[in-house]
Structure 1
Amino acid sequence: MNTLTRFPLTCLAACYHAAYRLHHRLCLKPGQPLQNSSLYVIGSFRIGGAGKSPFTAWFVRFLREQGAGRIAVLCHAKARDEAQMLRQRLAQLPQVQVFSTGNRYRTAHELDGEFDAIVCDDGFEDTRLSGAIVIRLDWEDPPVHTESLVPAGMFRSMATDHAAPAIALRCASTHTGADADVTFGIAGIENAAGNSLSRDPVLLCGIADPSRFASDVAASGIRATRTIALRDHDRRLRRILEALLRDGEQVVITEKDFARLPPELQNEHAVFIARQRVLVSDSAKNALIAARANTGR
């Protein structure tokens, strides 16, 4: 993108940041901390594609392994596909419940004491959540210039808009070989019946970072004929998927996109799910254990 094309977007990003700061100052002032439940916020500066929901699923399992009892997971009501994906991933865990809410702060206080731990998936921008252990997923250095913000860049806020997190975890894709606290990759690609692909598929995704999805699938050994990338939560995904199936294509989609499909499409033999693997280093696990111990809960 040349300078003349980028300049209007940079100006819009500066306006966005001014509105962001005003909104937080007026509407999202730090609230009261919870009195009984431990509160965890999992987030990222990125608008999407950071792996927050898969990491949330891993983290809930980790809390259970560390002896946590009842756990509530809070997802934003607008991201129903993420909530549904977490329900599917955590369905076998007793005493874990996933909630969709338009107000994480209010819901966390309503649930305070009913659960040992409350985990907010993508709650990083809700500055009302005082007293939380913030776990931030970083794929790059935190942004320090407004030109990095939407719509000019891929970030929702800057480093100066937040206090230092309790834990900042360096992230990478498994196939890059990068030294990271958390690595993400493809654990396997199968349809609902557990069958593997029989030919080169089409990749279809409605997520914020389709390029990472495509590179992760390629690194797993799958050679796609093409990639159809839609906006995050794009409602056209079902219609496009049905058209691809009528054309006889085999289609690989993300777990999040799969979660929002109706049962008849989930059970289609030509629909394949790329299941994501989350690997966390021992040093990161130790930091999470220490942070939990410091809550005294």
Structure 2
Amino acid sequence: MPSLLAVLLLPFAWLYAGVMAVRNWLYDTGLKASASFPVPIISVGNLRVGGTGKTPHVAWVVRELLAQGEKPAVLSRGYGRRTRGYRLAGATDTAATLGDEPLQHYQDSGASVPVAVCEDRRAGVAQILDNKLDITNVVLDDAYQHRRVRPALSILLTEQQRPFYRDYVLPAGRLRESRRGARRADVVVVTKCAPGLPDDAQRAIAARVRRYARPGVPVLFSTYAYGAPVPVTSASALVGKEIVLLTGIAQPGPLREYLLAAGYQITHHVAFADHHVFSAADIAAVAAQCRAGQCVFTTQKDAARLLAPELAAAIAQLPIFYIPIDVQFLADGAARLQQMLTSLFQPQAVV
């Protein structure tokens, strides 16, 4: 049931949903144009604002495409950057010039995968192709509502604990458009699931999703696998199980739960909003909470922003580690999504 505040905001949500519905109708009927491109476009996005796991799922898609012998490029809006327009990632870029998530993609690939940012995804894809980069496809990060580009494969993410079918449109809830937007998805991935989510629970969730998705659209389930702590600074040395947690992401809950289950004691959690731009004062506040023998744990996305040149002196003496995240699919989800990616590059039969 919605809260009292959500109920009071519902008229504004209906208005916003109506505007989005008209916009989608214009694209669905062709009155507004969606561009196609000579290479497959793969879109990864969500209906909800923030926190569904787009970054690690984009990384999974990129790794799978590379494993299949394809040459992907990644295009993102570059949320939180201080630059404008099209920008192709390079060795001197930081989170300030590129955005934390694109910078993470660039670093994950060892600079072997082209990563670009552009507010206008259609212009961004066109620029990537004009640059004559050696690519065979483009992966769009967080572009589900960017209707000016027509994807060959649209992957919709929704959290198990915060599914779109239990949410409401802004400002009454956190949805960017109505639940009916799920009909554009070619596959729906329910993210951040418990690794042992029972089959009957999966079927129940899938049934709720299919009330809004197109008939026959696969509903897959994924979970997070956390890796060993990775040092961020030269001062990083693991000592004990007492840690200070530093986060600037939308949903730090799953990370907290993992760390506690792994036997860590979180003596203090310094939590900022998603994409928070860290300052030297923020780092000083974290350092003040870090007792002798303790380490600071953070996320990989936050680490990208902590490594900003202007913070180098502030973090130099702090033992900071990030916890890497890998996406794993339940049941045969990985194989099914792999096949959907493979089919994008198979020759189409001529009728």
TMscore range, shorter length: 0.7 to 0.9
Question: 1:41 and 1:222, CA in 2 relative to 1: closer, same or farther beyond 3 A?
Answer: same
One-letter identity of the residue aligned with 1:189 = P
Alpha-carbon contact 1:204-1:241 (below 8 Å) kept: no
Instruction: Give the alignment of 1:168-247 within 5 angstroms.
Output: 168-174=188-194, 177-178=196-197, 181-192=221-232, 193=234, 195-236=237-278, 239-247=281-289
Partner Cα distance (1:39, 1:27) in 2: 17
Instruction: Give the alignment of 1:50-199 within 5 angstroms.
Output: 50-69=52-71, 71-79=72-80, 80-91=99-110, 94=112, 96-112=113-129, 114=133, 115-140=135-160, 143-144=164-165, 148-174=168-194, 177-178=196-197, 181-192=221-232, 193=234, 195-199=237-241
* Structure with max Cα Rg: 2
1:89-131 CA deviation, whole Å, 9 max, x = no partner? 1116x3x111111111211123247420100111111122214
Partner Cα distance (2:284, 2:193) in 1: 30
Superposed displacement of residue 237, structure 1? 6.0
One-letter identity of the residue aligned with 1:253 = T
Superposed displacement of residue 236, structure 1? 4.7
One-letter identity of the residue aligned with 1:178 = L
- Which residue is 1:272 aligned to? 321
SS at match of 1:212: helix
Aligned pair partner of 2:34 in 31, 35, 46: 31
Alpha-carbon contact 1:40-1:117 (below 8 Å) kept: yes
Runs of 4+ in 1 over 6 A off after TM superposition: none
Question: 1:30 and 1:229, CA in 2 relative to 1: closer, same or farther beyond 3 A?
Answer: farther
- Which residue is 2:301 aligned to? 256
Alpha-carbon contact 1:182-1:279 (below 8 Å) kept: yes
SS at match of 1:226: strand
Alpha-carbon contact 2:191-2:223 (below 8 Å) kept: yes
Deviates more, 1:60-69 or 1:179-188: 179-188
Question: 1:198 and 1:142, CA in 2 relative to 1: closer, same or farther beyond 3 A?
Answer: closer
Aligned residues: 291
Deviates more, 1:280-289 or 1:77-86: 280-289
Partner Cα distance (2:21, 2:184) in 1: 17
Alpha-carbon contact 1:172-1:178 (below 8 Å) kept: no
- Which residue is 2:340 aligned to? 291
Superposed displacement of residue 5, structure 1? 3.3
SS at match of 2:227: strand
Superposed displacement of residue 62, structure 1? 0.9
SS at match of 2:101: helix
Alpha-carbon contact 1:76-1:101 (below 8 Å) kept: yes
Superposed displacement of residue 63, structure 1? 0.6
SS at match of 2:188: strand
Question: 1:164 and 1:4, CA in 2 relative to 1: closer, same or farther beyond 3 A?
Answer: closer
TM-score, scaled to structure 2: 0.72
Task: Report % sequence identity.
Answer: 24
RMSD: 3.0
Partner Cα distance (1:68, 1:139) in 2: 29
Unaligned runs of 5+ residues in structure 2 are: 81-98, 199-219, 347-351
Alpha-carbon contact 1:45-1:142 (below 8 Å) kept: no
Alpha-carbon contact 1:191-1:269 (below 8 Å) kept: no
Question: 1:46 and 1:185, CA in 2 relative to 1: closer, same or farther beyond 3 A?
Answer: farther
Partner Cα distance (1:9, 1:211) in 2: 27
Superposed displacement of residue 197, structure 1? 4.7
Question: 1:245 and 1:74, CA in 2 relative to 1: closer, same or farther beyond 3 A?
Answer: same
Question: 1:21 and 1:231, CA in 2 relative to 1: closer, same or farther beyond 3 A?
Answer: farther
1:230-250 CA deviation, whole Å, 9 max, x = no partner? 211122565323322145453
Unaligned runs of 5+ residues in structure 1 are: none
